[in-house]
Chains A and B, each alone.
Chain A
Amino acid sequence: MKNYISILVIAFLIISCNSKIKDSESKIKIENGTEIIEQNTIIEEKKTNYIPENKVKANSNNEKILGSWIGYFKEDTKDSYTEKAIYADEGFYWNRENKINISIDKITDSLIIGHSVVAGNNRPFAGQLLNGVFHVKEPGDDKYDGEFKFTITENKLIGKWTAYKNIDIKNRKYELIKKVFAYNPDIMLEQVKEYVDWNNFTEEKTLEEYEEGEFEEWITKEFATATKLIYTINASNTLLKKNDVENLKKGDLTIIRNTIYTRHGYSFKNRPLRVFFDAQSWYIPVHTDVKSEFTEIEKENIKLLLRYEKNAIEYYDYFGRG
């Protein structure tokens, strides 16, 4: 009997130990707008959609309208629920709403010029004000371009958007309030929403006995997430040391690194990250490229965090030791 147990134990160890020593397939996806530029490369003149304020001949009325309007860009459906919603963990779902920044940059007698930043997309628009309603159009050379119609009343920008093309969610609505973006390295995450990476989970199969001798297979999914430590570590105002990061799990490292981008107003393409950061009240999507914005502290921290993230992905649950 003892022999059989030891055989089983050894067999289990052999089977459960993945034939590979590390996970060489998973890679950290670094979005284009967040790569670190090494100092010896020439930084291209930053493209900006902002018109310096003193150049705009503002009358008091325009002053109220010009600037960034922030809020959620929601699916516009007749039903109260969204068919395209994503359900992941218990109590976690995403109705496909994204935080949008509609920025009105310039108003002349006949023309309104601006841009919108949402879901990692920065698109210009232009149009007119007709009978108190703003009609502005995106160029149309992007799959996700469309037309905005909104009104501005009592410090609120309210309206709808329709895509030109037949995309997944063709109609959107929004109710935005005006906010001013300012980079603040000291700002911390608020505990408002869990980070759930629904693309990254492990499945566990268990057998439940529901009748005498009869079993049913249950599959529980466990999603990659983060711990409370993300609310205590700031990688924008503190130069992190090895000791600060070496005991962090992958999810924490990812969030701490991406919070740097969030502070700079980066608009995320990655959906789980976007959903998590959109929930932060102070977060305003302003740029789709923050490469040239990082401080020296942030650059060093990003490099350090990436090194540990890479190691966590490759080795954390593998035989190999990083």
Chain B
Amino acid sequence: MKLKLNRFFFLKAILYGSLVYFIYLLVLITIQYIPINYKIAFLNLKQEEIKLAYYKLAFFSHVYSSIIIISLGLTQFSKTIRNRFSSIHKISGKVYILLILLVASPSGLIMSYHANGGLISQISFLTLSILWFVFTLSAYTSIKKRSFKKHRNFMIRSYALTLSAISLRLFKYGIVSVFELPPMDTYKIVSVLGWTINLGIAEIIIRKTTHKNMYN
């Protein structure tokens, strides 16, 4: 029993450690856009779009809000924080939901129309932003109805999609290192795998933990 507990803690530490590390990398990416810079990184390939005022607004609000959203989500699944500091859970949860519903998801939807890589990535990012909105909204309405299990499941799905910011880039890195595919082929692949695999894992987690009836 003792051994099992240790191993569990060890795994948890690694999981949180790597999440913090990758969020730190995302912070580095975000910093490139501070102060507002139209000629850097991703935007170098978006010179046509960045001339459009609505795209500018969508891009920068997406970039700045997403880094807050992904960081806020980090602590929400901790039992300790939920039970002992429930006000923290509630406040950061509300900010997380509001930022997704009002800023990050709608701006993602606008950007998905202009996605690099043609129809495949356009459809993929479009679906991603809609599902992100729907899951996050469902998580919100279910907690309003005090349906904790539903809330938890939708939040797992929502955060799985939030984490696609990391997984998409990780897959890209992996594909490029192993197969050395051309850049846009890689991009089309990760635009789909980047969030579908996450969602698959989320469903597995939900199924494996539901029978325990933790909350109801």
Contacts of A21 in B (CB 8 A): 25, 28-29
Known contacts A17-B25, A247-B185; is A311 also within 8 Å of B45 by CB?
yes
Q: Does B7 contact A (CB under 8 A)?
A: yes
Provide the residues of chain B in CB contact with A307, threshold 8 Å: 44-45, 47
Q: Are A319 and B183 in contact (CB under 8 A)?
A: no
Min C-beta distance of B40 to chain A, whole Å: 9
Contacts of A10 in B (CB 8 A): 14-15, 18
Partner of A322, one of B7, B18, B41, B47: B41
- Identity of the chain B residue whose Cβ is nearest the Cβ of A6 in the assembled complex: B11
The smallest C-beta distance from A38 to any residue of chain B, in angstroms, reads 16
Please name the residue on chain A nearest to B182 by beta carbon.
A247
Say yes or no: is A89 at the interface (Cβ < 8 Å to chain B). Answer: no
Residue on A with the closest CB to B15?
A10
* Inter-subunit contact B15/A322 (CB<8 Å): no
Total number of A-B contacts with CB less than 8 angstroms?
79
B198 to chain A, nearest CB (A): 15
Please measure, in the bound complex, the distance between the C-alpha atom of A199 and the C-alpha atom of B185, giving whole angstroms: 27
Is A17 a contact of B173 with CB atoms below 8 Å? yes
Please, which residue of chain B has its CB at the minimum distance from the CB of A306? Answer: B44
Inter-chain contacts of B25 with A (CB < 8 A): 17, 21, 319-320
Question: For residue A20, which residues in chain B have a CB less than 8 angstroms away from its CB?
Answer: 28
Residues of B within 8 A of A17 (CB): 22, 25, 170, 173
> CA of A128 to CA of B17 in the docked complex: distance in angstroms?
77
* Shortest distance from the beta carbon of B162 to any chain A beta carbon, whole Å: 16
Verify if A166 is at the interface (C-beta below 8 Å from B): no
**Can you identify 7 A-B contacts, CB atoms within 8 angstroms?**
A11-B14, A21-B25, A246-B45, A307-B45, A319-B173, A320-B41, A322-B45
List B residues at the A interface (Cβ < 8 Å). 7, 10-11, 14-15, 17-18, 21-22, 25, 28-29, 41-42, 44-45, 47-48, 116, 168-170, 172-173, 176-177, 180, 182-185
Contacts from A to B (Cβ < 8 Å): 3, 6-7, 10-11, 13-14, 16-17, 20-22, 242, 246-249, 307-308, 310-312, 314-322
